[in-house]
Amino acid sequence: MKRLVENELIYGRLLPVAEPHLVARYNKALSAFGLPETKLEKFRIDMTGFSPEIAEELGDVQYLDPNGVNRRFVVLTPEQENLPVVHTQFSNTAGLMHEFFDGNRRAVHAVTIKDALFGEIEEPVDQVTGVEDLLSIDQVRFRVMSAENMLGKAAELRGLVDRLKTSRDGWRDDVMLNRMVELARETGDIRQNALVPDRLVFPHTSYWANHFGGVFIFRDDRTTTVICDSHAPGFRRSRPWEVSYIDIRDHARIFEYLSKSERLQLPRASWVEPSGFFVHRAEMAIDDLIRRADPSVDLAGTDRIWLQTWMHRNSSLIAEEGIYPFLQEAMREVASTGQVKMREVRADRRLMLCRAVPEHPDQWLINRLLARLAPFDFVSRFVFDKQGFYEAYEGYSESYRTHVVDVLGKTYLNNKAALRARLYGLEGYQDDA
């Protein structure tokens, strides 16, 4: 992973924490979680407050996510809102954190001037033992505390203010008045500064969970669809009267569900040709075939002539594997007819030709699923399915790792928004991928 770290392909764009008062506040949060305080004088954090350096110090990458649910968070500064989430068990953790920041912006800004916010994204289960536990999560509640007890002091001051307003003799209570002055010195005027977050409950809609090999849950108005390994505990047994189950190896049913629910953008010349999506997939397929056929090949040192020579010498292997010729034929069909006749395409290859409908609310989740089902396309996996990418990366040879890092550096990191817009039709800011 050292190469990934050095090229900011993992733990990139994190916020440095080096000020002693911020380190002290972070330590108070760790203590409240029952964890040892860090001895580090500086470290980096993501949007949730996760620090790879502290994870290494504690020897526990799950220190903010001990059971895979009820994710802990530490907010030291409003700046965290614009950071990525680099370690999570749920695909919508970043989205929930964005909603928390957006719904409590004044409180977050006011409290973090003198304090830190921390707590848990509480779900209705303490651990995930089967699909039923995931299905039961339809909303989450942020349980929020503060390192210097600023929230508690603000609540106490609010109570004393209310008492002063409603009590006839409250203004004569010197002890109460002195306590109000003492609290106001720390909290400021709570009539002007909203210190207590008030939007704490958020819906838990469609998402991916990193349990049982990965579980995709799509929620529609009246139905819920689960896509995962059929060996996951509870598969087809949890709420069968209201939940539809699809084995993640059943590409035909996945294609049928995604297309009928209008989540899938079918191959049409209008987007295929300007995007270069098929060309990209074909290049990824050849790279992956070379990796598997000859792991020692250093693709970083090759050029187009070398590649054409290799493909000519290995034409029978390419034909037998089939993905590259299939994509070439799809390109020709789109160029001549403007579309691909999907009913004539093998079920296990239809999804290779599709992407998520860019305007659909589940666009990132759909593309994550499609990327997982096309593991040869490491660019798509890095953009949408980082956990899967990192797992696959561990199995690559050193020479192929060099190639992967080089390609991602030149194509994605160079201009993330441009690549996402061109290949996947995704517009707007989202740097969680």
Burial of 172 (0-12, 13-18, 19+ CB in 10 A): exposed
Most confident segment among 70-74, 99-103, 153-157, 426-430: 70-74
Residue 291 lies in a domain: yes
Dump pLDDT digits (tens) for 91-124: 999 999 999 999 888 888 888 888 888 999 999 9
Q: Average pLDDT in the 194-208 region?
A: 78
Asked if the model's pLDDT at residue 191 lies above 50, the reply is no
Same-domain check for residues 303 and 199? no
Query: What residue numbers bound the domain in which 130 lies?
Result: 2-149+195-203
Is residue 172 in some structural domain? no
Rounded Cα gap, residues 256 and 268, in angstroms? 18
User: Is residue 158 in a domain?
Assistant: no
Question: Does residue 145 sit in the same domain as residue 284?
Answer: no
Residue 271 sits in the same domain as residue 420: yes
As a whole number, mean pLDDT of residues 342-352 equals 95
Is 39 part of a structural domain of the chain? yes
Ranking 116-125, 170-179, 327-336, 372-381 by mean pLDDT, the lowest is: 170-179
End-to-end CA distance of the chain: 18
Report the domain count for the chain: 2
**146, HSE (Cβ side, Cα atoms, 13 Å):** 22
Residue where a domain stops, chosen among 203, 225, 248: 203
> Looking at the structure, do residues 47 and 128 belong to the same domain, yes or no?
yes
Residues 37 and 144 occupy one common structural domain: yes
pTM of the predicted structure, to 2 decimals: 0.87
Same domain, 199 and 310: no
Q: Using an 8 Å Cβ cutoff, are 212 and 228 in contact?
A: yes
Residue 209 placed within a domain: no
What pLDDT score was predicted for residue 431?
Answer: 46
46 within some domain: yes
Q: Which of 182, 203, 224 is the last residue of a domain?
A: 203
Domain ends where: 183, 203, 223? 203
Q: What are phi and psi of 231, to 5 degrees?
A: -90, 0
Q: How far apart are CA 299 and CA 422, in angstroms?
A: 25
Same-domain pairing of 20 and 144: yes
On whether both 272 and 420 belong to a single domain, the answer is yes
Chain mean pLDDT for the chain = 89
- At residue 432 the predicted structure's pLDDT band, cuts being 50, 70 and 90, is very low
Of residues 288 and 222, more confidence is placed in 288
In a domain, 393, yes or no: yes
Q: Of the ranges 35-39, 149-153, 226-230, which one carries the lowest mean pLDDT score? A: 149-153
Q: 50 lies in a domain?
A: yes
Does 276 lie in the same domain as 413?
yes
Three-state secondary structure of 359-410: CCCCHHHHHHHHHHCCCCCHHHHHHHCHHHHHHHHHCCCHHHHHHHHHHHHH
